[in-house]
Structure 1
Amino acid sequence: MTAVLALGTAPLGNLFTEITDHQAYDTVAAAWRQGVRAFDTAPHYGLGLAERRLGAALRDRPRAGFTVSTKVGRRLEPTGTATGDDLAHGFAVPASHRRVWDFTADGVRRTLEASLERLGLDHVDTVYLHDPDDHAEQAFREGYPALERLRSEGVVGAIGAGMNQSAMLTRFVRDTDVDVVLCAGRYTLLDQSALTDLLPAARERGVAVVVGGPFNSGLLADPRPGSTYDYTAAPPALLDRALRLKATAARHGITLRAAALAYCAAHPAVTTVLVGARSPAEADDCAEQFRTTVPAAFWAELREDGVRGVPGTSEGGT
């Protein structure tokens, strides 16, 4: 199966900096014009703002023509005040709600119901348990069975977990009946750790893998001093590696962005590459880069440099 491009909506929730409703709408519209039909969101992104903006942008689109995934595990509770902001969690929005970790069966249902209301949809196609790193017992004992029930009731189509690590996702693949997992930042040109456990297990079990964070939150999109890696300032050693990768890509007539997306898409377990965009120009660029053909000579050079999972190898795609 050839991997498809999906739009991630954390930037539409004012990740790091504020954007307007109009800009958010135009970003989704640009992705749609580029053929993107899969959209991922979460209550966490801007305290529900991303879900509301995505729902508004998709309202006049044919429901059978797109898929939406959202997440459960962080339940939003009103604070009763809009003073302060949410920048401590990375979002430039008023602190009108607080996040409550809740992987109980009741919490899963309540969180999903609130998401559907914000999205203006009667169902979503996929629901993930969102970052259950420190809540594994409750997520496996209560949250996952709740998702199984929702799936059996037809409330959701597919269920899974989304995390920034591969170890617990591998446990979900091996020990549960998830349909899909979302692995962010652990299968990129700078971090191939998912190759050790998650990707082989998913391929063996027939579980779909969505790769998020193909640019490691920015470094592989535009490596320069001040670039972010996993949402914090990139360490100098990683910045140097990214700059070398950029130079290698340039020698082969492509951008580092195109190489980063193609690397993620090539693995046979990967069905979707998830990229965030905060403007129509970024949405257009992501789609154009995703369509770029990466020359075999580029992959050969990366293979010689010790990058794991390069297309054409036993670990990577064909």
Structure 2
Amino acid sequence: MKRITQFDGLYGEAGPQQANVPSGGEYLFSELLETRSRAFDWVIQPHVHARLFQVFFLETGGVEFSEATQQRQLTGPVILLIPPALLHGFIYTPDAKGRILTLADSLIDQLFPATSALSAMLGAVQCIQAFDEPYLAPVVGQLFAQIDEELFGDQPEKRTMLHLDIQRLFLVLYRLWQHGETVQHTANSLPAQYFRRFQQRVRQVGTTHSIVQLADELAITPVHLNRICQAMAGKSASQLVQEHVISEARKYLTYTNYSVSEIAYLLHFEYPNYFARFFKKHTRLSPTEFREGKQAE
């Protein structure tokens, strides 16, 4: 079975190039979307970056965006945020134009710690398609261009300016994302809003938080959270957490070459044997048995 490729650097590169690392050793790179895409005949096969966060800004043209379990047809302007270790692939139309910003996960953590309001946005794949005043698409495009100009320029205090430019860009993206979330929730009930926030948090923390902790973060009781989950999905909060983790584990075992220990780490298990027991309890197969079965298909 064909395996999904892992890249330590950019797509098609074995690892980060030294020229892409500004002062301080934080991996950061900016490029035109069409440059690399054209080199691969507009097809970027599904792949993962273990430690890199990417922002894709498709200004014009179209793309078929592939995740682990779905494909979406998108037309510019659109922004995609791809956290580390998440599968993604693209098939662009030949007229596609835009920019790609790639950052080390350590730089994201430094600029936007876990306590930041942006953590909910940064913890999952996001698709931003609505650009409203004062942040119309050309304005956002200029923020990307400013980072590109600073990165490849030679001005004093370059690192400080880059950090400020990145923070401004992500704060603008957060405002656009929040506005989209607010519009979507306007027609939704309060339980639906709680349920969506619960799903987002589960994607970020997996099994590291108890249901009590997750409920506390939503400022509701565990009983209330379970009632919401039953009403929205017909399952308890614990069942939804377990299903999410198993789904992610299957994805990694099927589409990547990560070892079982590495997958356990990515899914926030303290020890690999905890992950192996959890996986077998819910699938009746060990992670190795599951992977071998997929390879034989």
TM-score, normalised by the number of residues in structure 1: 0.31
Larger Rg: 1 or 2?
Answer: 2
Q: Which has the higher helix share?
A: 2
TM-score, normalised by the number of residues in structure 2: 0.33
Structure with bigger RCO (C-alpha 8 Å, 6+ apart): 1
